[in-house]
Each structure stands twice: as structure tokens, then as C-alpha cells.
Structure 1
């Protein structure tokens, strides 16, 4: 037998001891010191919040609190207080700026326009997307532009931004119009089958197909049919991952189950394969073409950038060809998700609001008829026509304020940061509940919960005290890159639909907005749709 000397045993003992001590120190730092430091810094500045309990913080209270709408509040507004009831209840107790925790994560809830203004002034990279969310949502977003930080985000932003200038979007107008006319024809057919009478339609699926078709044609040179499987799987992953536990940092045990995990990663792999095939097919098509013969769309720009951009590679950022390929796939996934799902929901909620306010519907229709001289479709490319739709722009802006697709907006501080007079320590998660922020009476006035598009008559800067706290497209340097694309698509869709039809809210409609990453109608949007025939006066 080999005898181990006393000296060797002593060395092994000290090594093991150091490992144990180091592990304990790391655990203490992670589980106690870091959360304690963050809370201490914020509490010393007068910020209060619910008392956390070890090891789950305020998770138990968050799961047990029930919605408490304010007295005399509009029944239609009850949903605002039911999505994340603890946000509202804690605001009543601790004010519009408070501290809460989920496990070791320390969150600062922000419902103060002045503070959002200060946050918006800070540039990346010290204020970025929360890293734990990036990990939780990795199957659906990967390291794409919606969740990326630092160099990865800068690279993707530079690829996308030039393709979404208005000069490029104007070339997509005919394509957008063609897609919207397919919905007009479909609804026309439903009315014809009902002998020309008003029909009761659930509209959100058709508007989702519309957005998906526009995105597929404009950005990827395909159509809804070809991108259908990508959209379906992204939607299924959204349902699986869009839980409160995932988004707010709970211990998400249901997702960690073997079956749930396997299903999500299976769908992720399927989407990656579909997008890889689309990229490979495009490269094969381009093989014997000159540069001026190749498609001029966003997919082509992404492919070309992935081939020629070596700046980051030289710095060691992309270590392998696989890294670059995966980033290209992730970027495409992010565009598919953001450019279709969010836009479709925005159009859906806007049309519901228009149906809910007949006087505004008539004003919009009159504006559209006058702007396009009763010549829809085939008039959108006439110079300046869309820009003349001032009332429609105001209604869309107000719809984004009250029923924007974004439910929350979050950031993580990657360094100690100062927002105005407030010092926020490194590692703090900042959360904004968008529907509440957009109904803040301090910023929007006493009528903040009411539908009043006229507040935007003189632009966003005059609509409220802190325009930076209007965040349907995000805020600061991380503002949505596709904002112009989205607004143009919604204007075209609503113009054509209001030109051809009138709308009323169906008596069978049940108002129940819920959160699943985005603000969705739980029971669908049902509208009564009637065909219009215009005669020029």
C-alpha cells in the first residue's frame, strides 16, 4: 500500500479547507452581503419597501396579494391592478419608488416620470437588460438585439438601423398595402356570406397574420406561409416562458421540470433549423448573382454583415464561425418576434379603441377620405399622404399609451449609477410597469386613465410633463429600432380598414387584458364589422 505522508495529508487538509472557506465566502457574498449592500444604500436614501424574508424575499407575499382596484375606478381599468397586483398595492403603501426582492435579487420599482427621464439620459453599457432574464428567455431570444448587452447589441443595432430609415420603409408601402388588402377581402367575404349584413368577428388572429405577412415580405423576402412555422413556434415558446415567475425573477420550478424544459428547447432547435434553412436558401440563390441582382432586404443585410464584419472578431468577441452563425439566427428570431407579435397587438388594441369611441372613428374616417381623395387603396406612395393623417397618429399614440403591447420595462445596473440625486448600486434591477406609468396623474394629468387622443395634438413634448416616461417603444438608447416601420404599418392597416368598414364593439366582447410577455386580450377582441360604400361628395 502507498502511504501518504503527514506533510501531504496536511497540504490536502489545508487545500480542502481553503476550498470550503472560499465557497462559504462566495455564498455569503451572493446570498447576504450583495443584497444587504444594495438595500442599505437605497434605504439610507429614504427608499422603503416590503420587508423580505430569507431565502425567498417577497415572493410569498407577491403570490398571495389579491387585486385591489382604487375606489370609484372605471371597471374597464380593473385589469391594470390585476396583472401585477403587488405593484399597485405596494405603491399605495410605500410610494411610487420602492424596493422589493425575489430571492437574492433586489428590485427597485419606478413609477416616477422624473426618474425615468434621468434613466433615459444614461447610455449603454452600464444600464442594460437584466442578465437573469437573458438566461431565462434564452430559447426564444438567444443573444438577439432585444436582450443583448454591450458589443453584441451595438453590432446588431448597426446592422438593423440603416434598413429601417423612412427612405427604406417607403419602398415597402406597396407590399404593406397588398397584405392589408388581403384582410379587407377576407372580411368582405364574411359579410357577403352573411348576405351583406354586419358580421361579428374575432379580429386579432387576422391582424396577427397581417403583421406576419408584412414582416416576412419586407424583411425576409418570403411570405406568411413560408414563415408560418417560425411564428407558431415562437408563439408557443412565448406562452411557456411568459410567466410571472420567469419575468420577475421567481423560482420557476414548473419551467425547470424535465418535460417543460425539453419542450421549450425542442421548439428552440426547430426554429433555429428553420431560420438556418432560410439563410442557406438565400445564399444558394445569391451564388451566381452580382451585387445589384441580389435582394435588397433586411435578411440580405444581416447575411452580408455576418460575412464581412470582422471588427469584433479581431477583438476576440466572436471566437468561432458557430458563434457568428448563432448570432445571425438569434437576430432573425428577435426581428420575427418584435416585428410581428407586438405590431399585431398594437393594431388590435387600436382598432378596439376606435370601435369603442364612434365620434373618433368618424373623425378618423373623414380625415382618411380627405387625405386620399376617396382613392384607397393605391394612394399610400403619393408623397406626404401618410404624414397628413394627424388625427390617426394621435389615436395610435394614445392607444400605445393605454394599451401598448409592452407590459414591463426593466434594466440592470452594471455599475454604481446616479440618476438625479439617487445613487443606485451595481446589481440593482429597475422595473417599470408600463400601464401604470402611462396612467400616472402626476405626469399625464387628472384625466390620465381616459382615452383622449387630443392630448397629443401638439406632439409628445406637449402631451405630458415628462415625455421620456412615455415608453411604448422602450426608452433611452435602447428605444425600439423598428418604431417607424411599426407606425407606418399600423397607419396603413387602420386606414384601409376604416375606409372599407365601420366598427362597433360586439356585445359578446369580454374585456380582460392579461400579460404574457405582452398585453394580450384573454378572450379575444370581438367587433361588429359593417361594409361601407363611399360616394365622393
Structure 2
């Protein structure tokens, strides 16, 4: 009997060992190589799969090496921001093959094919699978799929209707005026000051969102933003690292910091929610902002939980603040590099708005300002690439794509493609947008700063109005130029931002022109 037991145990262990070996062979060799062969038979070129080659680490390394090089004061930033992707597209074509661990990834830099991916309504292309450490940044509507995404998107959309945004203008104006007053106080007897406008504009957008979207204080919102910025750095590190199942549960120093940040952010947002709920219970009108609308939906017929509301708040706090702050920062940097356009924009603002705070009607008449903001968004898009994943077999541009393939859409490469924008694609030329976005390039689908299709960014109008108002008020009151301390170093931490800030010298405009 004892011999039988040990024989059975040995056989079971041998079977388990063979199963594990078979699984490892299938996951780390057979399946990837089978997919590679299938894709290459269709004419795709690119890197070959190897279980010992980590393309994410190679991408991170090439980007770090590019950042060490001195940056020239121009707008040709692709080599610095995504050097490996630029090299691959140049070498293998606008649709090429790369690898993320054991998953094949298609780099798609063709505008027609990007449209097909972003316009998908049948669920062929979804958000790529992530790990729990990446999910800590936010799990709002942008991460949802299927019916749950459609329902959540429908619930949130009314918060961004024009009538709602128009009602937020007073909050926008108050925040912009506070920024102007703060900068005025910093100026010396000569009417000038040196300041890092990146920091000031981050404070501005934090204040705008805190007031207009959540009805909370600036200091409260600022603290949440600071915690989320730190979380974003840790999330990006987790993205570029090999993730093994269960690693998120290990009490490493960085994991403990990630979960601590998440708990602090959620705790602060939960306090804001409780105050809002109490105000609504007391009969106060609190449904004009995003949080009020979310809570109203939750109290009606939605299955949205408080945790869902918190995740939506995390998304809007991060995406709303980062996008607009960086957009305005790059705009001031670019206008400092091109003072003739700064003068044109100021002249238009003073002609349209005079010395008054711009209202929504005046903002809509700022044609040159709009052209400048669009061109800056082309050269310095907030997100350099978009990501999708095939959850079922599909076709793309005549290619048969199996399930389980990642899709990378490098929008930054599109924005600098000479075939789409001309040989001056790397130059600042706002006049491209004189006849609107659709006529700015040689291809109507070459400009995707806010995405496209059913998942286009809900907050784009919010961000655009905020950016126009803030830029108009800055132009009304200040001339600005780059400080000698400024280093032109665009880099990505989720969003595209200046690595060393944006120190500038601001000078008050003539008193007759100021607010």
C-alpha cells in the first residue's frame, strides 16, 4: 500500500511537472511564435519574438538615453519622446510588428487605419489588459468596456453639454483672475518677474477643476493633484516593468507607497463627496457640477457605487488638470519662441475683449488664439500615443488580426509626418488651422489630440474653453519670454510635459491695456 501511495504521488508530481512545462512552453514559445508566423505571412515586418528580449525595457532605455542628450530649442521632439517607435516605423513601415512580453503589438501609424480602430463600435478593439498597480491611477469611464462603458458614458455626458460649461464660466473667470493677481503681486518695481509658469498653470487648472467640477477648495484639490502626480510616476514605472501575477500583493517599498497614495486620494475625495451629499440632502442646488451630477445619477436609477464615483473623480482630477496645464504651458513656451505670434494673439485679444474678462461669446471669436492652440496641440499633444487590444478576431486594412494583439497608435508620429503636413511639419505654423481642423493637413484624419470616435475625450470642450480664457487673460496683462534657465526637454509621464519646468520672465503690459 505504501509503495502504491508513493508511486501515485510520483506519477502525480510528474504529471504536474509535465503540465507546467507544457504551459510554459505554450505561453512563452508556441503561442507567440504561432502568432508571429501568422502575422508575418500577411507581409508584416518588425521585430521577432524572443522570450529573453524585453521590448518595454528597451523602449524605456532608449527614451532615457534620448533625454540625456541636450535638447535643441525647436519643435522636433519625436526623437526625444518616442525614439524607438520612430526608428521602427522608419525601418518597417507604418504598420509593423513589435512585442510586449508574450503579446504581439502592432504599431499603426496610418491615419486611415487609426480611424478604423478608434471608430470601432462592435467591441473588437478594447483597452489593453493592465495590472493592478497600473489600475491604481484610476478606473473611471476611460477604462470601462461594453455595456458598462456605454451606460457610464451616457450618464456623464450631460455634465459636458454646452449649457453646463457655460454655467462654469464664472468659476473659470475667478480662477484666471486669481492667477493674474498672483502674478501681478510677484512683479517687481520694474513690472517684471521670473516664475515657473508650469507650476502656476498647474495651480490654475487645479483651482478650476476644484471649483467648477467638485465645489471644493483649491488647497484640497491641489493636494489631490500632488498625490496623483506622484502616483503617475509610480504607475509609469510599473508599466515598463515585467509584471508577475501576485507581485502587486508583495509589500515592497514602492508597492506600499502606491497603496498609501491610493488610500489618501480616495479618502480626500470621499470627504468631498460626503459634503456634497449633505448639501444635497439640505436642499441646496448642487447638480451644476460633475460631482453633483454623478451623485444625482447614483441616487436615481443607476447601479453606480460610491467607489465608482470616486474613480470618476480621480480620472477627471488627473486628466482634466494635466491636459490643460500642459497645453497652456507649451503654448506659453512656443509663443516665447515665436514672439511675432504672441503679438498677433495679444492684439486680437485686446481687439475682441478689450480690458474685460472674456466671456463665452468673446472666447468663441478668438480666431488667432484658436489657431495657435491647435498648432501647439499638434506639436505637443497631451498624449503621445493611444493603446487598444483585440479581444476577438478582426480585420484591419486587409490584415487578419487574431484576438490577443495589442495595437499602438502613435499620434505624435502622425502630427509630424511630412506626407500629412508638408515638409514644414516640424515647424510652428498656426496658419495651417486658418480654415479649421479638417483642412489643416493633407489628410482629414491626421489630427487626434483628444482621440476620435465613440471614445473621444468628453472633457475636450471644458479644456478648450479653460485654455482660451486663461491664455487671453495672460496676454491681456503680460508679455513673456523664456528665462535663460529654461531647458527645452519635453518628456512623458503619462502626459507630455516639460521635464525641468518652464521658467519665464513676465513683464506687465502697458497700464492702459491691463485689467
Scaled by the length of structure 1, the TM-score of the pair is 0.87
Partner of 1:174: 170
Query: Which of these residues, 346, 359, 364, is aligned with residue 380 of structure 1?
Result: 359
Partner of 1:165: 161
Query: Which of these residues, 350, 362, 367, is aligned with residue 369 of structure 1?
Result: 350
Separation (CA, whole Å) in 2 of partners of 1:20 and 1:308? 54
Partner of 1:404: 381
Deviation at 1:31, TM superposition (A): 2.1
Deviation at 1:411, TM superposition (A): 0.8
Separation (CA, whole Å) in 2 of partners of 1:393 and 1:64? 37
Deviation at 1:469, TM superposition (A): 3.2
Query: Which of these residues, 192, 212, 215, is aligned with residue 209 of structure 2?
Result: 215
1:303 correspondence with 2:303: no
Separation (CA, whole Å) in 2 of partners of 1:279 and 1:59? 38
Separation (CA, whole Å) in 1 of partners of 2:56 and 2:210? 41
Separation (CA, whole Å) in 1 of partners of 2:60 and 2:274? 46
Separation (CA, whole Å) in 1 of partners of 2:388 and 2:183? 42
- The change in CA–CA distance for 1:95 and 1:293 in structure 2 (over 3 A counts) is closer
- The change in CA–CA distance for 1:62 and 1:237 in structure 2 (over 3 A counts) is closer
Partner of 2:334: 353
Separation (CA, whole Å) in 2 of partners of 1:294 and 1:510? 44
Aligned residues: 507
- The change in CA–CA distance for 1:68 and 1:16 in structure 2 (over 3 A counts) is closer
**Unpaired runs of 5+ in structure 1?**
319-323
Partner of 1:198: 192
Partner of 1:83: 81
Alignment of 1:221-370 (within 5 A): 221-243=215-237, 246-247=238-239, 250=242, 258-289=252-283, 293-310=285-302, 324-370=305-351
Scaled by the length of structure 2, the TM-score of the pair is 0.90
Separation (CA, whole Å) in 1 of partners of 2:251 and 2:45? 36
Q: CA RMSD in A?
A: 2.8
Partner of 1:138: 135
Separation (CA, whole Å) in 2 of partners of 1:345 and 1:68? 21
1:452 correspondence with 2:465: no
Separation (CA, whole Å) in 1 of partners of 2:58 and 2:201? 38
Partner of 1:321: none
Which SS does the other structure have where 2:435 is aligned?
coil
Deviation at 1:388, TM superposition (A): 0.8
Deviation at 1:293, TM superposition (A): 3.5
Separation (CA, whole Å) in 2 of partners of 1:445 and 1:149? 37
Instruction: Please say if residues 117 and 469 of structure 1, whose CA atoms lie closer than 8 Å, have aligned partners that are also in contact.
Output: no
Cα distance per residue 1:9-46 (max 9 Å; x no partner): 88877776665555455444432343223322321121
1:423 correspondence with 2:421: no
Separation (CA, whole Å) in 2 of partners of 1:491 and 1:123? 32
Alignment of 1:424-439 (within 5 A): 424-439=401-416
Cα distance per residue 1:164-199 (max 9 Å; x no partner): 0111101111110110011111111111xx203322
Separation (CA, whole Å) in 1 of partners of 2:293 and 2:51? 50
Deviation at 1:468, TM superposition (A): 2.8
Cα distance per residue 1:70-120 (max 9 Å; x no partner): xxx976346421233211222232122211113212111122222212223
Which SS does the other structure have where 1:359 is aligned?
helix
Separation (CA, whole Å) in 2 of partners of 1:54 and 1:106? 12
Instruction: Please say if residues 51 and 58 of structure 1, whose CA atoms lie closer than 8 Å, have aligned partners that are also in contact.
Output: no
Query: Which of these residues, 368, 378, 402, is aligned with residue 391 of structure 1?
Result: 368
Instruction: Please say if residues 382 and 496 of structure 2, whose CA atoms lie closer than 8 Å, have aligned partners that are also in contact.
Output: yes
Separation (CA, whole Å) in 2 of partners of 1:62 and 1:82? 12
Separation (CA, whole Å) in 2 of partners of 1:519 and 1:98? 24
Separation (CA, whole Å) in 2 of partners of 1:356 and 1:131? 41
Instruction: Please say if residues 418 and 424 of structure 2, whose CA atoms lie closer than 8 Å, have aligned partners that are also in contact.
Output: yes
Cα distance per residue 1:443-480 (max 9 Å; x no partner): 11211111111111111111123333312112322211
